[in-house]
Structure 1
């Protein structure tokens, strides 16, 4: 969906060097985003966040998910029924831990976000189970100031 953001906006999503990322993130955020880690359930920033806004990649700022698609999954991690901008969410096969799953990563940051499962609500039937440590929440009141005014429309319904 580069048409929404335009080619000039993708420059904004360049991945910093590993050293820059290390300086910018907490140890847990670095482990999750750069080393494919997982944070503890029910002990993370956004599993029970009910505010309106969007969730962006903590490393690059890519817009990933919206509170309008967030739902209570009972898993202890933020769960979404779909991405905000599908182009910025990439699926990869993850065969770690003795199982095969669909891993969710950000396109430009290549940050590990979590996994997607097919036990979500309608209309998609999907559950994007995402680590809070991979995300930064932008409240709807701050979208314009943070450079995400293109997404204000979804909260005006």
Structure 2
């Protein structure tokens, strides 16, 4: 049985190798015949009507709340202040999907969990946020919520 499988595999490999395309080295392409009077004329590009302005360098994203999730943070803060923690958490999770590396979002999540009374989740979220904090005040607030 094994010799039959081996022979079949070798036969398949030989068939595939025969299908490969290979051109011999040193072979020149066929010459192109040109007739007198049939010269190739290359069109000249038209001058640009107006010079294009130079592209502006890309601006780095702001480290603070971006325009994308800033309104979500504000709405979550209102919901949390009103005692609607589930709505606040839903808004903050949306903000986190927009910028998963934002310590500001982690801080808001940790504060909301703490206000809700879920201290273990608040600590875990704050510890995760410590991976992304950049400013001393942000890191200090996350450390306080993490219990460090």
**TM-score tier after normalising by the smaller chain length:** under 0.3
Greater relative contact order: 1 or 2 (C-alpha under 8 angstroms, separation 6 or more)?
1
Write 1 or 2 for the structure with the bigger share of strand.
Answer: 1
Q: Larger Rg: 1 or 2? A: 2
**TM-score (structure 2 length as normaliser):** 0.26
Write 1 or 2 for the structure with the bigger share of helix.
Answer: 2
